[in-house]
Every structure is written in structure tokens, then in C-alpha cells.
Amino acid sequence: MSLEDDIRPLFRAEDVKAMSFAFDLSSYDEVSKHAEEIFSRLADGTMPCDALWAEEDVEMFRAWVDAGMPA
């Protein structure tokens, strides 16, 4: 599992744009730095702002974090 192959494709262009005020979802450094905050927002449904992620996608993000956030 990696950010580029598994996680990054889950962030749509509009998500990257909408969250650019807080962090860059297209950047490994930014996503890994803010991973817990991103996970919390994905899990509670406040990110993305227009639709919830599927539960399996939220779980995959958590698994990526728990695996040490491989690039």
C-alpha cells in the first residue's frame, strides 16, 4: 500500500483545491504531516465536504497511516 498507488487517487482534484487553504492533498509531505487530522475528518464525514468516503476507503487510509505512511 502506498500514497501514490492507493491513497492519492481517492483525493479528487476538487478535494485538493478545496483543502488547499489547510494543506496540500497532492503532497506526500503534507498528507503524512496531517494524516491524523485528515483521518479524523474523513471518519467524521467533514471531509470531503460534499460526500462521504466509503467506509472501506476510510479504513484503507487508516491502514496506510498505521503501516507507517509509505510513499
Domain ranges of the chain: 3-66
pTM for the whole thing? 0.93
Q: Which of 9, 23, 21, 19 is nearest to 47 (CA)?
A: 19
Over residues 4-61, the pLDDT tens digits come to 999 999 999 999 999 999 999 999 999 999 999 999 999 999 999 898 999 999 999 9
**What is the model's pLDDT at position 36?**
98
The predicted pLDDT at position 63 comes to: 98
Query: For residue 15, what pLDDT is reported?
Result: 94
DSSP strands (E only) in 1-71: none
What are all long-range contacts of 58-62, with beta carbons under 8 Å and residues at least 24 apart?
Answer: 60/1, 60/6, 60/7, 60/10, 61/7, 61/10
Q: Please report the pLDDT score of residue 51 as a whole number.
A: 85
At residue 5, the pLDDT reads 96
